[in-house]
Amino acid sequence: MVMRSMKASQVTREALTPALDEIRRELRIPVEFPDDALEQAETACQQWDEYLSELPSSLRNRARREAQTYKELRTLEPLPAVDPKKKWDCLDLNALPAADGTHIPFVTIDPEGARDLDQAIHLHKLSEEERAQCDADSMGTAAGAAYLVSYAIASVATFVPAGSPLDRETQRRGLTTYLPDHSTPLHPPVLSEGAASLLPDQYVPAVVWQFVLDEDGQVVGGGLNRCVVRSRAQLTYRQIQDAVDTADTKLPSVVPAQLPGLLKEIGVLRLKLEDQRGGVSARIPSQEIVRASGSGDDAGHLQLQYRAGIPAEEWNAQISLMTGMEAAALMRWRGMGILRVMPEADARSLSRLRGVAKALDIDWPHDVSYAQMVRSLDPQVPAHAAFLLEALTLYRGAGYVVYGIGAAPEFPDPMEEGTRHSAIAAEYTHVTAPLRRLVDRWSTEVCVNAMADTEDSLGALPRWIVMGAEDIPDAMAEASRRVKDAERRAVDLVEATLVVDRVGEDFSGVIVDREKRDVFSGMVMVSQPAILAPVRMVKPKGSGGEKTQRQGSEASDVSLRQKGRVQRLFAAAEKTRRWVARHIRRGGGLPLGERVLVRLEIVDVKERKLEFHYIPQV
């Protein structure tokens, strides 16, 4: 048998572009923005610059002292009202900032190389003196304040007036599509990677959420305001993780020194709360296409790898989840909103998953919940990886539901089913990725409206939300299907391209799935390169034939009814007949959760397909 590692230099982005273009054509993914939408986006950027030029010089000259205390962070100075006669037709004048948030030293935390930056964060731990002050007068905050989370979300609505060409185009796209050669953005790059992105050292309109947390991480107060903000630095998850793990790791001097430690501290608290709610947070390995790093011949070429994430990603995700949960609570209080929902797993599915655990020799005590179980597993253990991938099937059917807007039904009772996201174990909405996801613009504007100061303005939900909200769930469902399909086809393409010249070679992998109706067919997770592909169990060599065991399984019902007559169904050698009969009687087949050697039998780059065979030792 031949075992060797794959050179990443065999796959380049340029070489894949024609095939990726074919995927885009198949799924009707737009190649370019319409001219009128592009022109609008460019004009909006110019008008935003004009708006900034009219702001107080103290803001533009950065004369305001950088916030360091709780009170300073919570104090947002109002900005002058905009003259309604302004001819800024490519901006939504109702979505312009109302306050100055540039004194808050925000930073962004994203994957390396990201340019469409939706979120920026600042964390503050209250001193004993500040806690005492909060307990006394606390600007509307409940007693017990311990942390202040300031979370700036890009205000896309500022740049996309309702009914405009760009608005229509974004509703057609729904989501940003990321493929290995380039992305197809929801908004033109001049916005998504420019004026509307929270890039370092530029003035950007944002919706700033502020959450006051107690010592357990529970939200006890907060607020929401439209602000001008300025991020200080763009960090990666790895930089944050290294800063937590290694004391001598240096971040840019403009980054608040306490940020990494506080992100971990608050993230861990929120994870504990998630556990108490029954939420599910599992390090399920994902298959990703990445560019090879370094300076060698392979640098910049494409590879496949499995990633289970690092703790810093989990901590950061908890801030986003908290924001979505609080936004959903605000929607319920307001009586209108767009929730992200996912049905609960049924008892039959849970029972089946327990059967999978038993087959994998994974101990799952009856008093341990599903959420607790998946959190305890290590994706580096083959059997655990198989279980975690199978567990993904338990939570499906996520979507969006509109309540209280236009002709949509009113919010049901909190105890009724249908409004919760089962994996989060709470009501939840999407508000933290408006540059990449259409629904977030609608949801954010509902929340901003809910926080309006007066009863009169509370009832003035923008007409474009009322008229368009009912179409959002279907638009997002279609966009999600399209994006997932594109990503899967792209991975299939890279898989086939990586191993096109390796037919007949053996690879090490883990059997992670086995079909219910055909236990001799399933999926194998190959380690190097990182491939997840179909596998079939076949007869050993010298057995009198090389038919796949799929054919044997089709006769399994007959052979079980006619126990002593297996030889009538199979004319192969006696050794093979005994082997087949033994596997049928014992309910065998592919060894789920075991590391095995599989042979690459089929590769078709054009069809983006490949197949492995598992040949057990007799």
User: What is the structure's pLDDT at 532?
Assistant: 92
pLDDT (tens digit, 9 = 90+) per residue, 400-439? 999 999 999 999 998 788 899 999 999 999 999 999 999 9
**Band (561; pLDDT cuts 50, 70, 90):** very low
CB 115, CB 64: distance < 8 Å: no
Residue 565 has pLDDT above 60, yes or no: no
- Hey, what amino acid is at 272? K
Residue 580 has pLDDT above 70, yes or no: no
**Band (9; pLDDT cuts 50, 70, 90):** very low
CB 225, CB 192: distance < 8 Å: no
What tokens were used for 37?
């939408």
User: What is the structure's pLDDT at 558?
Assistant: 40
Q: How far apart are the first and last CA of the chain?
A: 17
The most confident of the ranges 144-158, 351-365, 454-468 is 144-158
Cα radius of gyration rounded to whole Å, the chain: 28
Residue 595 has pLDDT above 70, yes or no: yes
Phi, psi of 395 (to 5 degrees): -115, 100
How much is the average pLDDT of 479-486?
A: 97
Give the residue with greater pLDDT, 38 vs 389: 38
Tell me which of 136-145, 347-356, 532-541 is least confident: 136-145
Residue 570's Cβ-side half-sphere holds a number of Cα atoms within 13 Å equal to 32
CB 522, CB 535: distance < 8 Å: yes
Tell me which of 299-308, 338-347, 605-614 is least confident: 299-308
pLDDT (tens digit, 9 = 90+) per residue, 47-65? 999 999 999 887 877 767 8
Residue 8 has pLDDT above 60, yes or no: no
pLDDT (tens digit, 9 = 90+) per residue, 30-40? 989 999 999 99
Residue % of the chain over a pLDDT of 90: 62
Residue 395's Cβ-side half-sphere holds a number of Cα atoms within 13 Å equal to 21
pLDDT (tens digit, 9 = 90+) per residue, 447-459? 999 987 544 444 5
Residue % of the chain over a pLDDT of 70: 86
**Band (506; pLDDT cuts 50, 70, 90):** very high
CB 134, CB 126: distance < 8 Å: yes
Residue 185 has pLDDT above 90, yes or no: yes
What tokens were used for 300?
């910049």
User: What is the structure's pLDDT at 566?
Assistant: 41
How much is the average pLDDT of 76-102?
A: 92
Mean pLDDT for all residues in the chain: 86
- Hey, what amino acid is at 570? F
Distance CA 213, CA 331 (A): 20
CB 424, CB 325: distance < 8 Å: yes
Tell me which of 178-187, 214-223, 364-373, 555-564 is least confident: 555-564
Distance CA 478, CA 486 (A): 12
User: What is the structure's pLDDT at 556?
Assistant: 41
**Domains in the chain, CATH or no CATH each:** 8-277+310-345+395-492 (no CATH), 499-614 (2.40.50.140)
User: What is the structure's pLDDT at 588?
Assistant: 67
Residue 555 has pLDDT above 70, yes or no: no
538-572: string of b/e by CB count within 10 Å (b at 16+)? bbeeebeeeebbeebbeebeebeeeeeebeebbeb
Cα distances (angstroms) measured from residue 572 to each of 439, 548, 550: 60, 13, 15
CB 123, CB 262: distance < 8 Å: yes
CB 301, CB 292: distance < 8 Å: yes
Closest CA to 588 of 506, 534, 528, 511: 511
Residue 578 has pLDDT above 70, yes or no: no
- Hey, what amino acid is at 305? Q
How much is the average pLDDT of 3-21?
A: 65
How much is the average pLDDT of 480-498?
A: 95
